[in-house]
Amino acid sequence: MNEANKRLHAIVSGRVQGVSFRYHTTLEAKRLNITGWVYNRPDRTVEVIAEGDESTLKDLEAWLYEGSPAAKVTGVDTKWDEATGEFDTFKTVYRKVS
């Protein structure tokens, strides 16, 4: 794992469910060669965990403020950490297991 890799944890609010937000987030993350996942939370927000080069993650973070064409993002809360290297790809999570 590259020492410069970081982890971005984002909670995206607004009209972000039912507008293909997860699908478009996955496409963007794969285009940027970022690993992690995206998930629709029960509170109608979308959660994103992404790992990659910090500058590339900042590109994803900026994209999250726009989102899919039908989305209306009203906020993006982010937290940054060191990457764990636990992901091989970027995917949509449909159900979180505790």
The stretch 3-22 carries a mean pLDDT of: 94
For residue 50, with 0-12 CB atoms within 10 Å meaning exposed, 13-18 middle and 19 or more buried, which class applies? buried
Closest to 30 in 3D by CA, of 91, 98, 95, 96: 91
Confidence of residue 97 (pLDDT cuts 50, 70, 90): low
Confidence of residue 73 (pLDDT cuts 50, 70, 90): very high
Q: Which residues are identified as catalytic?
A: 22, 40
Global pTM value: 0.92
Closest to 74 in 3D by CA, of 37, 21, 26, 28: 21
For residue 71, with 0-12 CB atoms within 10 Å meaning exposed, 13-18 middle and 19 or more buried, which class applies? buried
Confidence of residue 1 (pLDDT cuts 50, 70, 90): very low
